[in-house]
Structure 1
């Protein structure tokens, strides 16, 4: 049953990928998409749209969804908090602040420089989070989410201050980027998010037994021979790296890391390799259709990705809180 469901999910991802290449302001037939993928002819306008415009953004959308879902799974596991998310933990806000600081002060827009700035910002946010949450050498897990929300507001305030002092013409481009978009996708730097996301997924799979031990509690994990502090710090850095690179590539996209692990957890255990892979595939599947919605929901305009994910994620977050409240009252 699990294998059949996983196969169905994989087929859904492939079908959605083809749909994402076909649907847009200019409708492209599935046959033309097939021809573009297997025998590209740059003299054909439809094939040129598929390969040069839609294919890189579709690949980036899938990588972003898979990476953010994996980052959310990491945070929820190492903190044992089902509400953990890169967006709520301030990691995404810290990465956004680093990129905005780079753009406003130096005007550098290369993918590598933006990824480095985002990584520095996210690591700073994570260091502040650990500094607040750690007390006498142990992590106060219950305080991490509250500290993350506070840091998120702090970095957002700094970002707004930078935008207030910036050139008005640059502010529009920065704000559109910060709301999330896959329109900047380019084959020249696509290798960076691909390597980081795939490496992050492989790291989670390789350390799955250590992470499963961590779910039992710090004391139980120590008795099983797990170095809890080193594992938690390492996984937090992996989550920060994934988030930073994706924020630099497509801006701030929130709530994906919160929703997907919860949805997958209803159907399959994420303690297994299959559950971790399904989480990544489900995140990619969600972002493929979010990108399609962003392109077609308003005619001749592109809606920011972050607006759609924030709307969906907010409803999911409130529903999750209500569900937990009702479960506690039973």
Structure 2
């Protein structure tokens, strides 16, 4: 399949997914009404108001979150040459969540930029700790990265739980629901930040595609090809932390997307190409759109946390991935 045909296919799938997501939910809306609301919005009609003011920003946020988390996972898997890398498993998401909970419990601030800043500080703390820990384990870096990331994730989660224990009981339920992941906070005023950061991430990945591919050959080979490995790796880790922090601040904890989507795309197309990078972003966005539809449709008058669904699917995928890796490795 040519690049143009692949791009057209993903654009068509995205359009169909958006229309389907806008029509499905607590109340079902006809597809004709969806098109009418998008083409000629009239706030006097309740169904059109639900579509434009509630479901559309939520669906856009879900798509952006899926794109961003998939690209964050791809960045980590590339710069660490670790196929199990993921912002959730590496503790970056937990660090970002801790930063948001600290800000919320101490000040009560819920502004988007403030939460994103706190989440970025928390994610940087997690990434710095991970780098410091694994620098002493270079001979076994792949395994130590995963183990250190899981340990940091539990550590930050424990600190978050301790803060919640001492928090105002009236605020605990809201914080707990947020930490489980949800797109219910989506609105038109806050969409610009994740859209900007995700677009910046995709542009950087496309711009540095060749140098990132060189990292997959090993640090020595990449240096021979003229790549400044340390600067590139730190810059990409910083970009991944920023991307994860912004999405966590708005959506809460959504795990395993960065692990699953790059692996699934890798089965069908090489991610070393421009088409592969774009396919990863599109697949992540489409996946999260339908996860959100399930979250708000599977139960009557209730909404499942998005993070619960992705964790359930992702944990099974992670176990299957470990089994397949073990079977494909040569026996001793």
Tell me the TM-score range normalised by the shorter chain. over 0.9
User: What does residue 118 of structure 1 align with?
Assistant: 119
Deviations 1:143-202 (A, max 9, x none): 222211111111001000001111111110000000000000011111000000110011
Residues 92 and 244 of structure 1 are in contact (CA less than 8 Å); yes or no, is this contact kept in structure 2? yes
Aligned partners of 2:249, 2:140: CA distance in 1, in Å? 29
**Matching of residue 298 in structure 1 with residue 299 in structure 2:** yes
Aligned partners of 2:226, 2:143: CA distance in 1, in Å? 24
User: What does residue 247 of structure 2 align with?
Assistant: 246
Aligned partners of 1:293, 1:19: CA distance in 2, in Å? 12
User: What does residue 57 of structure 1 align with?
Assistant: 58
User: What does residue 162 of structure 1 align with?
Assistant: 163
SS class of match (2:62): helix
Aligned partners of 2:134, 2:162: CA distance in 1, in Å? 27
Residues 21 and 58 of structure 1 are in contact (CA less than 8 Å); yes or no, is this contact kept in structure 2? yes
Q: Which is further off, 28-37 or 47-56?
A: 28-37
SS class of match (2:41): coil
Aligned partners of 2:138, 2:233: CA distance in 1, in Å? 13
- How many residues were matched structurally? 330
Aligned partners of 1:166, 1:260: CA distance in 2, in Å? 36
SS class of match (2:27): coil
Aligned partners of 2:140, 2:79: CA distance in 1, in Å? 11
Aligned partners of 2:306, 2:94: CA distance in 1, in Å? 16
For residues 142 and 319 of structure 1, do their structure 2 counterparts lie closer, same or farther at Cα, with a shift above 3 Å needed? closer
For residues 328 and 136 of structure 1, do their structure 2 counterparts lie closer, same or farther at Cα, with a shift above 3 Å needed? closer
Residues 133 and 141 of structure 1 are in contact (CA less than 8 Å); yes or no, is this contact kept in structure 2? no
Aligned partners of 1:235, 1:145: CA distance in 2, in Å? 18
Residues 73 and 261 of structure 1 are in contact (CA less than 8 Å); yes or no, is this contact kept in structure 2? yes
Q: Which is further off, 253-262 or 184-193?
A: 184-193
Aligned CA-pair RMSD: 1.5
1:39-118 correspondence runs (5 A) = 39-118=40-119
Residues 116 and 249 of structure 2 are in contact (CA less than 8 Å); yes or no, is this contact kept in structure 1? yes
User: What does residue 23 of structure 2 align with?
Assistant: 22
Aligned partners of 2:131, 2:34: CA distance in 1, in Å? 48
TM-score (norm 2): 0.97
Residue 9 of structure 1 and its aligned partner are, at CA, apart by 2.5
Residue 107 of structure 1 and its aligned partner are, at CA, apart by 0.4
Residue 142 of structure 1 and its aligned partner are, at CA, apart by 4.2
SS class of match (1:108): coil
SS class of match (1:134): helix
User: What does residue 186 of structure 1 align with?
Assistant: 187
Deviations 1:234-269 (A, max 9, x none): 000000000000000100000000000000000000
Residues 254 and 307 of structure 2 are in contact (CA less than 8 Å); yes or no, is this contact kept in structure 1? yes
Aligned partners of 1:2, 1:132: CA distance in 2, in Å? 44
User: What does residue 282 of structure 2 align with?
Assistant: 281
TM-score (norm 1): 0.97
For residues 8 and 141 of structure 1, do their structure 2 counterparts lie closer, same or farther at Cα, with a shift above 3 Å needed? same
Deviations 1:128-154 (A, max 9, x none): 111112249999454222211111111
Unmatched segments (≥5 aa) in structure 2: none
Residues 137 and 144 of structure 2 are in contact (CA less than 8 Å); yes or no, is this contact kept in structure 1? no
Aligned partners of 2:54, 2:102: CA distance in 1, in Å? 29
Residues 130 and 139 of structure 1 are in contact (CA less than 8 Å); yes or no, is this contact kept in structure 2? no
Residues 116 and 246 of structure 2 are in contact (CA less than 8 Å); yes or no, is this contact kept in structure 1? yes
User: What does residue 171 of structure 1 align with?
Assistant: 172
Deviations 1:23-49 (A, max 9, x none): 011111111111111111111111100
Aligned partners of 2:84, 2:139: CA distance in 1, in Å? 21
1:224-235 correspondence runs (5 A) = 224-235=225-236
